Structure 1
Amino acid sequence: MKENINLSRRRLFSRRKDNALRPPFVRDDVEFTDLCSRCGDCITVCETKIIVKGEAGFPEVRFDNAECTFCGECAKVCPEPIFSLDKSPPWTLEASIQESCLAHRGIWCQSCKDACDVSAIRFTPTLGRAPTPELLLDACTGCGACVAPCPADAIVMIKPQTTPQ
């Protein structure tokens, strides 16, 4: 007699890769979802309100309206041993400019460059067409300031080992 196994229930107990963008200063040696109690304190203290309640109630970072200032308040308020304010850089997120960028379509736009305080995005003039963006990853802090002002939603923040969706 063959036993039917419900694979959806089995997936409930399997460890899956956590691809959510987590707050800055999370220690590299911890699994965020194993230690986070989902108390919401980091969400409450986030000065730019980029930390929101995500999947299953865990805090996630979203750059829809603002950027991270790396103030460290999320790390200071957390009652769990998840964060380290000594971590440098605070995270490994970096910007990625997608093909939907207006400049790639010949439309003059430099809103991402204007929003980037560390000048990690530059535009090189090209004869006969709109300048296209170049991302200087060594200068990018992953703050996300370039995301919200992009009129084409062409900039996403990614973990370097992943690809954008």
Structure 2
Amino acid sequence: MRIISGKYKSRKIVAPKNLPVRPTTDMAKESLFNILNNYFYFDEISVLDLFAGTGNISYEFASRGTEQITSVDQDFGCIKFINQTAEKFDMTINTIKSDVFKFLEKASIQSHVIFADPPYVFTEDLFVKIPELVFKNSLLLEGGMLIIEHSKHTNLSSLTHFSYSKSYGGNMFSFFQAN
């Protein structure tokens, strides 16, 4: 994987092979950030990266100037890798090792962008639980956006606060905003 744009543009990041992850493809990530670029000034926002995995999305935000980034993942190896990479590139990424659902139930962190990349094998009720908890606990700041990455076989368009979705190959991003 590589960083698409910003201070660390074109830097390659090689994650250990034993991490239980499926990183967002460069094509999908570039398309996502082209969309976000129309909504936000990256150096003025805070980001919550759920199911952070390798930290791929967190690094992209950091490279573009975001300084308030929190990455949550339950895998110790993922958290360790994110910490090592953030230190290597001098990025300010706060990591939390936690089950994402337990974190969301107790979280008081509010962010402009919440990005969730759960396992594609999640059942529909688990996908539904993400926006439910985010909006129930008011985790999005005013004008904020929740983005859930999922396979094209999962349809989240009937959920409350759903705004729109974009498809990139087998990847899909569903965007949610407070009404």
TM-score calculated relative to the size of structure 2: 0.29
Give the number of the structure with larger relative contact order, counting CA–CA contacts within 8 Å between residues 6 or more apart: 1
User: What's the TM-score once normalised by structure 1's chain length?
Assistant: 0.31
Give the number of the structure whose residues are more often strand, by fraction: 2
Tell which structure's C-alpha radius of gyration is larger.
Answer: 1
